Amino acid sequence: MRGPDESLPIAVYSASQVRELDRRASAELSVPSFELMSRAGAQALRVLRRRWPDARAVVVLCGAGNNGGDGLVLARLAKAESLEVRVLAVAPPEQLKGDAKHALEECVAAGIAVERFAGIPSGIAATQTVIVDALLGIGVDRPLEGDYAAAVAAANASGLPILALDVPSGLHADLGLPLGEPIRASATVTFVGLKQGLYLGRACDYTGPLELADLGLPAELAHGLTPALTRLACAELKRALPPRRRSAHKGTSGRLLLYGGGPGMAGAIRLAAEAALRVGAGLVYVATHDDSVAAVRDGRAEVIVHAVDAATELDPLVALADAAVVGPGLGLSAWARAGVRRLLDSALPLVVDADGLNLLAESPVKRGRWILTPHPGEAARLLESSVEQVERDRLAAVRALAARYDGVAVLKGAQTLVASGDATPGVCDRGNPGMATAGMGDVLAGVLGGLLVQTRDLRASARAGVLLHALAGDDAAAAGQRGTLAADLMPHLRRWANPTA
Ramachandran sector of residue 334 (left: φ over 0; alpha: ψ -120 to 50; beta: rest): alpha
390 closest CA partner among 175, 144, 122, 186: 175
- Neighbour-count burial of 297, counting CB atoms closer than 10 A to its CB (0-12 exposed, 13-18 middle, 19+ buried): middle
Global pTM reads 0.95
At residue 361's C-alpha, the angle toward residues 308 and 259, to 5°, is 20
- Quickly name the fold that domain 11-229 has: Rossmann fold (3.40.50)
Q: What is the pLDDT of residue 3?
A: 60
| Of 325, 403, 411, 315, the residue nearest 364 (C-alpha) | 403
Shortest CA distance to 290 belongs to which of 319, 261, 270, 316?
261
Cβ pair 332, 355 in contact under 8 A: yes
User: In the chain, which residues have pLDDT < 70?
Assistant: 1-5, 123-127, 501
Q: What is the pLDDT of residue 251?
A: 87
- pLDDT value for 501: 54
Q: Where are the beta strands (DSSP E) in 353-420?
A: 370-372, 408-411, 417-420
Q: Are 325 and 442 in contact (CB under 8 A)?
A: no
Sorted by where each begins, the domain ranges of the chain are: 11-229, 234-496
CA distances from 444 to 254, 352, 361, 438 (A): 17, 11, 20, 12
The rounded distance, in Å, linking the Cα atoms of 49 and 40 is: 14
What's the pLDDT at 206?
A: 98
Question: Vertex 72, ends 7 and 151: CA angle to 5°?
Answer: 90
DSSP state of 178: B
Ramachandran quadrant class, 176 (left: phi over 0; alpha: psi -120 to 50; beta: rest): left
Tens digit of each residue's pLDDT (9 = 90 or more) over 416-461: 999 999 999 999 999 999 999 999 999 999 999 999 999 999 999 9
The secondary structure of residue 381, as a DSSP letter, is: H
Residue 108's pLDDT is: 96
CA distance 447 to 432: 18
Residues 6+ apart with CB under 8 A from 10: 227, 230, 231, 233
d(CA 284, CA 371): 18
Q: Cα(208)–Cα(185) distance, rounded to whole angstroms?
A: 6
Strand bridging mode 210-213 / 84-89: unpaired
**CB-based contact 326:350 (threshold 8 Å):** yes
Give the H or E element holding residue 95.
Answer: none
Answer yes or no: are the C-beta atoms of 241 and 451 closer than 8 Å. Answer: yes
- Residue 128 is classified by DSSP as G
CA distance 153 to 312: 62
User: How much is the pLDDT for 122?
Assistant: 75
How many whole angstroms separate alpha carbon 144 and alpha carbon 177?
Answer: 12
Cα distances (Å, whole numbers) of residue 133 to 44, 75, 82, 384, 455: 11, 12, 20, 39, 46
Number of Cβ within 10 Å of residue 479's Cβ equals 10
The answer to whether the beta carbons of residues 479 and 488 sit under 8 Å apart is no
User: Closest Cα partner for 378 from 407, 395, 398?
Assistant: 398
Q: HSE on the CB side for 221, CA within 13 Å?
A: 24
Q: By CB neighbour count within 10 A (0-12 exposed, 13-18 middle, 19+ buried), where does 118 fall?
A: exposed
Q: With contact defined as beta carbons under 8 Å apart, do 110 and 79 qualify?
A: yes
Q: What is the DSSP string of 294-310?
A: HHHHHH-TTSEEEE-SS
Short-list 5, 448, 388, 364, CA closest to 190: 5
C-alpha 289/C-alpha 286 separation (Å) is: 10
Helix (H, G, I), strand (E, B) or coil at 165: strand
Sheet holding 323-326, edge to edge: 194-195, 11-13, 229-231, 426-427, 417-420, 408-411, 370-372, 350-352, 323-326, 255-259, 283-288, 304-307
Query: What is the per-residue pLDDT across 319-355, written as a single tens digit (0 to 9) for each?
Result: 999 999 999 999 999 999 999 999 999 999 999 999 9
The top-level CATH class assigned to 234-496 is alpha beta
Alpha-carbon torsion angle 457, 459, 460, 461, nearest 10 = 80
State the pLDDT at residue 361: 97
What pLDDT, on the 0 to 100 scale, is given for residue 443? 98
